[in-house]
Every structure is written in structure tokens, then in C-alpha cells.
Structure 1
Amino acid sequence: MPITVWGLAIAQALLMSGNILLVSISALVGKELAVHPSLITLPIACQFIGVICATLPAAHLMQKLGRKIGFVLGNLIGLMGTWVALQGLLFSSLSLFALGTFLIGIAIGVGQQYRFAALEACPQAQHARAISMVMAGGVLAAIIGPNLAILSQDWHAESPYAGAFYGLFGLYVLAMLLIMALPLLKPSHVNNDPHIRSYRQLFAQPILLAAVASGMIGYGIMVLIMTATPLAMNEDMHSFNATAHVIQWHVLGMFVPSFFTGHLIRRFTTRNVILWGCAALIGSVLINLTGQGFWSYWWGLLLLGVGWNFSFIGATHLLTFSYLPAEKAKVQGMNEFMVFSAAAVGSLFAGQGLVLLGWQWLNLFAIPWILVVAWLIWRLKDQPLAVNSEA
């Protein structure tokens, strides 16, 4: 595997550490600062809105300016976001904290292009493995993020969460230096091709529809349940350390399978791996319905992570069969926009949904959506998986 892919995997780990850190503390910060229950998950929702705002511009900007410039700009915005979020904590301002998470979300949105950059660094036969390797960087993030949230609680006297953002600032600096050292793709102008298909023509392909739906539902359901978990555990009197450990193992479930997901795709097909992901997501819901003790949360969130891994990596690989080289930026940007729009809806609904529906009904709400994805993927049984000559 090229060194560029390894470098992108480490950069992904550093970026995801910030994402996991925010998942661990943002809902709890929101609960402290919000004047209404519906605003508790506003910081996480703003993070995903930032991701959404970055997706389409990032894909097209990198095609014009190159991957390196795009990634460095994203890291600079992330650095600004950590400083703004820190000010929100110090001044007890939910709006300022949410603005900081929005900027960090933009950085995370730009960083979602890491897995597509990895595709450009290796031949097509290695694409599934390259995607998996970059996503496997999240294993390191699963260790750094929650532990940074726990260990930094005593770093700042005014807020138990403020110290984490000093550490986060350092992680983003390291990620930026790493990106600057990697040999990444230079600007491309294939998007000037007059034969690029319209969105209507693109979505006439069952493969693209299934890939986007798998990414959207898998990510949206994962974020919905993951975001609600710290709040539900807090209501059930679980400690912050217990919540952080549940989130940590959830993230390990998200990324440890990445070491072999690519192999599973090559051996058993992308379609089957996504179907296994749907089964794992439904299994997570069923475990969450068994109770609200520590181990119910732990097993439920672990399986939720595995389900997300199979559905998301499978969807990313499936997507590469739906576009021609000239359509790459258009399709990748559109896919990221729709996937993270679903994630934003899930994060925004998590707090209010938990209040209105309760933990069990919130989980039951997820099942019909997962079944829709399973049906769309099942329909691909007779579809060819070869459209483009390069991704």
C-alpha cells in the first residue's frame, strides 16, 4: 500500500479524534448551557451542518486547487474552530460554542475527502483496501478522543471540558504538518467535460441510489443513537467516565473492522457486506431495547459501530461504480452532502427525540429506515458493478 495511503490514515485519525471528542462532551456541554431541551444537541447539529456546508465546495475546490491546498485550508478552519469553541466554554455561551463546533465541522467535512484521495494514490484493484486503511485510522482516534476528554478535565479550572480543546488544537496542527508532507494529487480539470451527466441521469442508476441511501441511513441512524446515548446514560445516573468508555468502544466498533472490511468486500462482494451492516444495525437496536444498564449500552453501541462500518465503507466502494472520471467531483460532493445532511438531522433530532419518545421508541424509529436500505441493496442482485475505468 502506498505511503500516501498510510499518511492519510494517520491524518484521518487525528481529525477523527476531534470528532469523537465532540461526541463525548458536546451533548453534556449543551445540557449545561441550553435554556431549552431542544437546544441540547445544537452544538453537535452545528458540527454536522458545518460538515454539510463543506462537502460540495471541498470536492470542487480540490479539483481546481489540488488535494493538498484543500486539506490545509480545512485544517486551518479546524484550528480556528477549536479556539472559538474554547471561548464559548469559558464565557458559558452556547451560541459561541456552537459556532466553534460548526467551524470544526467544516474541517471534518473537508477531511472526509481523505478516503477519496486514497483512491487516487493506488490502482483500482486496491481501492476497497485503501478505503478501509484510511477509515482504520479511526482506531487511533478511538483511543485519543475519549481519553483526551477524560484526562483533560483538570487542565482548566473554569471548565472541566475546556482543557480538551487545547489538546485538540495540537492534534490539528500535527494533521496539517502531515498533509503538507504528503505527495497528493495536483489540480484536475476533467470537470470541464461537456458530457457529464445530470443528477437526474446519475440517480437513474440503481447502484448510485443504493450507495447514497446506504451512506445516508447508515450514518444518520448511527449519529442519532450515538448522540442520544450520553444523554440517556446521564439520565440513568451513569458516570461521565462510563459514558466516555461506551463511546470509545463504539468508535472502536466503527473502525477496527476497517482492517478486514476491504478483504470481506473482495471475497463476499460489496452488496453482502452492506447487508451484514444492516443486520448489525438492527441487532444494535434490539440490544438497546433489552435495558439501560452499562452493558446494554456497551454492546448496543459496539454493534452500532460495526454496522456503520460495513454500511459506510461498503457504500463508499459501491459509489465508485456509479460515475465516470469526469463526474468524480460532482458525484463525490453530492454524496457527502446528502450523507452528512442525514447525519445532521440525526444529531439535531437526538436530544428532542429522546425527550419526546424515550430511549426505546427512539431506537424502534430506526428499524424501518434500515430495512429500506436492505431492500435497495438486495435489488442490486442482478446489477453490474462496472461503470467507470477509474475512480
Structure 2
Amino acid sequence: MGSNSESAMQNFQRRTMIVLLVTQIVGTIGVGAAPSLGILLASEVTQNEAWAGLARTASTLGAALLGIPLGNLAARKGRRVALSSGWLIGAIGSAILVPAAQFSLTVPLFAGLLLIGSGSAVSLQSRFAATDLASPQRKGRSLSLVVWVGTIGSVLGPNLGVPGRVVGTHTGLTVYASAFLIAAACLGLASLLIFVLLRPDPLLTARAGTAAAEQPRPKHRIRVLTSGLRTSTRQRQGMLAILTAQAIMVAIMTMTPVHVVHHGGTIELVGITISMHILGMYLLAPVAGWMVDRFGYHAPMFVGIAILTASLLIGAIYPDYMPAIVASLILLGLGWSFMNVAGSALFATAVEPDLRASAQGGVDAMANLSGAIAAFIAGPLLAVSSFAALCLIALAVLVPVTVSLVRRR
């Protein structure tokens, strides 16, 4: 009987992974438009650096604001409802950006970018969904595999301006409006795939054997999570790694398109640069997951810190040399990947099972909030100083997590 149950669980996990992997590819195509095209659209529509800076952070802020509600929704209704709802909200946001781009409308611009951030939130939560039914020996690899397949969609997303030009010639839409129309279709399809195919629900299935106890209310879950962060070194260390990597990555990545354009770069060069960065974010995620399962959590964190340090030093030393900026952005993505995979896996195993979905939504919300704050601060810093100075400041942000890891080790 136990063998049949184990075999059924493996089949559920296999089916869950296939659905998550396909959906992650489709959905991240839509989400990937925000970091490059959304940033350039914000600058074009607002024609004001302060407002443009706020608009650039809107999608990250949206991911932060929606992370906790979507996590709580997963805790109550399961992954299927939460993930499909998040992708659908992102599709609505992308659809709003079509008229915003076509007619240069500021308010719809902010609203659309805010809502498309929901896609980022569920893209992050999908990696945790991959661990719900995974065996303890394969949690790191399952998580990292979902992160890894995001490479395909996230590399294509920043380049939606290319098919956008083709769509624009047939519809009369601008390149930005056409690109976000394509993004809306991708996000809508991701929502439909999750809602129809993610059965049985991985979180509810994993909880089936232990669900006799009543699930905590949302406010109680938040109190218990806060208490856990105060008492659990593992939770704190996992969260610190996630937040640090996210803040550094978002700050530098958000300002790079502006830096490239100021040096005469085209929208195509911006798209290629961000695509290479995103390739770095996801390409070696399975290696990070394997390191977590094989060597524990600290080794890949140290690797991530070393790679981030190299990235920021290259950006600081060669800020005006475009090949160096591309190399720096690739390393930035790689460093984020190792830190994020290791930190996420550590945090997931350190939280009580009944609180896991809400806690994961909470940590993703905090990560996106830290990214939004970092991006908003990075704009004025770039305006009053330089890209090199921004890289050096980001380097200083690495110090606390490095000290924490050394002490813990």
C-alpha cells in the first residue's frame, strides 16, 4: 500500500512539474516585457525623470503588493487558484498597457505596470509549488528546474519589440502597444493552462495527510512567521540572501537600459542586453539546485556572493564599455541565481508546513518590495552620480549577508 502511495505521489509530482514548466515558459514571455520595454515606455510617456523612475518601479511594487495576498490565497485554496489568478491579473495589466502605450496615457501606464507585476509574483511562487510534492533529496533540483525554464520566456520577453513591429504594421499600433498586446496573450494563456491542467493541486495533495488541523488565519500566519524569523537563524539567513540578491539585481538591471540609451544604444541593444542578463539569471539554476542538494545551502550562497562581486566590480571599472556592461549583467544574473535558489530552498525547509505557502508569499513580497525600493533609489543615484558609483554602492549592500554567512559557518 505504501509503495502504491509513493508511486502515485511521484506521478503527481511529474505531472505537476510538466504543467509548471510549460506555464513558466509561456507566462514569463509576458512578464519579460516589463524590465526593458516597460522601462523605456515609462520614460517616453512621462517625459520626466522623477515620474519615470516611479513608473519603472511600479511592476516590482505590484509584485510586492500582490505576493502576500496570492500566498494567502494558495494557503486557503491551493496553488491552482492562486497561480491562475496571478497570471490573469498580469494579463489584465498588460492589456491596460496597450492603450497606455498607444495614446501616451500616464495613469493607465502606472496601473498596467503595477498589475503586470502579478506575473512576477506567481513566477516566483511557481518555484515553491515545484517543491510541494518533491522528495527531500530533490527539492533543490525541482525548485531550480522551474527557475531554469524561465530562461526561455524571460529571454524572449524583452525582445517582444521585434514581433511588435510586425504586428504594428498590420494593426496600426505602436511598437510598445503591439508588444504588450502579445504579452497579454501569453499571460492569459498561462492562467488558462494552470487553471485547467494543475490537477490535483500539489499543495493540497501534500497537505492531505496532515490537514486535520485547522489552517491558521492570515493574521495569525503573519504573527507566527514574524516570530519564526526572530527565533530561526535558518529563516533569517534564507530571507536575507533572497532580499539582498533581489535588491542588487533589480537596482542594476533597472538602470542599465537607461545607461545604455544614454550612451547611444538602441531598443534592440537594450533588449539583447537584458536578455543576456536574464539568460544568466536562469541558465545555471539547475547547477545551484544540485549544489544545494549535494553540499547544503551555504556553498552556493558563497558562490553567488563571489559572482555578484565580480559583476559589480566590472560595472564600476568599465561603465562606458558596452561589452563589459553585457558581461557584468550576465554575471549579475548568475550571482542572483545562486543566491536566490539557495536562499529559497533554505527558507522553504525552515518554515512549518502549515505556514509554508503564506510564508513563501510573504518572503517573495518582501523581496519584490526591496527590489522596488532599490530601483526607486537607483534612479536619483544614477542621475546625481554615475553607473560606476551605483555599482560600488550595490557592492556595499553585499557586506551584511557575507558577514552573516561567515559567522554562521
Instruction: Provide Cα deviations, 1:93-148, integer angstroms capped at 9, x if missing partner.
Output: 12211210111112332332211111113222210011011101211113321332
Give the Cα–Cα distance (whole angstroms) in 2 for the partners of residues 247 and 114 of structure 1.
Answer: 22
Residue identity in the other structure for 2:216: N
Check conservation: 1:16, 1:138, Cα contact below 8 A.
yes
| Equivalent position of 1:182 in the other structure | 198
| Equivalent position of 1:389 in the other structure | none
Number of matched pairs? 381
Counterpart mapping for 1:19-168 below 5 A: 19-156=31-168, 157-168=172-183
- Identity %, equivalent residues: 24
Check conservation: 2:126, 2:146, Cα contact below 8 A.
yes
- Taking a change above 3 Å as real, the CA distance of residues 117 and 198 of structure 1, as seen in their structure-2 partners, is closer
SS in 2 for 1:365: helix
Give the Cα–Cα distance (whole angstroms) in 2 for the partners of residues 155 and 306 of structure 1.
Answer: 33
Match of 1:217 among 239, 244, 267: 244
Q: Structure 2 stretches of 5 or more lacking a match?
A: 1-12
283-292 vs 109-118, which moves further: 109-118
TM normalised by structure 2 equals: 0.88
| Equivalent position of 2:366 in the other structure | 338
1:347 aligns with 2:359: no
Give the Cα–Cα distance (whole angstroms) in 1 for the partners of residues 148 and 398 of structure 2.
Answer: 24
Check conservation: 2:225, 2:355, Cα contact below 8 A.
no
Give the Cα–Cα distance (whole angstroms) in 2 for the partners of residues 212 and 365 of structure 1.
Answer: 21
SS in 2 for 1:320: helix
Counterpart mapping for 1:152-301 below 5 A: 152-156=164-168, 157-179=172-194, 180-183=196-199, 184-185=201-202, 187=204, 191-192=215-216, 197=224, 199-291=226-318, 292-301=320-329
* 1:313 positional shift: 0.6
Residue identity in the other structure for 1:301: L
* 1:83 positional shift: 1.3
Instruction: Provide Cα deviations, 1:166-211, integer angstroms capped at 9, x if missing partner.
Output: 2112212321232121222365665339998451343222211111
Residue identity in the other structure for 2:182: G
Match of 2:407 among 358, 379, 390: 379
Larger proportion of helix: 2
| Equivalent position of 2:8 in the other structure | none
* 1:259 positional shift: 2.7
Residue identity in the other structure for 1:238: G
Check conservation: 1:191, 1:329, Cα contact below 8 A.
no
Match of 1:312 among 335, 340, 349: 340
Residue identity in the other structure for 1:307: G
| Equivalent position of 2:20 in the other structure | 8
Check conservation: 1:202, 1:322, Cα contact below 8 A.
no
Match of 2:390 among 362, 372, 387: 362
SS in 1 for 2:97: helix
| Equivalent position of 1:329 in the other structure | 357
Q: Structure 1 stretches of 5 or more lacking a match?
A: 382-391
Check conservation: 1:127, 1:317, Cα contact below 8 A.
yes
Instruction: Provide Cα deviations, 1:249-283, integer angstroms capped at 9, x if missing partner.
Output: 10000000013221122233210101110111111
- Taking a change above 3 Å as real, the CA distance of residues 97 and 276 of structure 1, as seen in their structure-2 partners, is same
69-78 vs 54-63, which moves further: 69-78
Give the Cα–Cα distance (whole angstroms) in 1 for the partners of residues 67 and 134 of structure 2.
Answer: 23
Check conservation: 2:139, 2:293, Cα contact below 8 A.
no
Give the Cα–Cα distance (whole angstroms) in 2 for the partners of residues 310 and 166 of structure 1.
Answer: 33
* 1:212 positional shift: 0.8
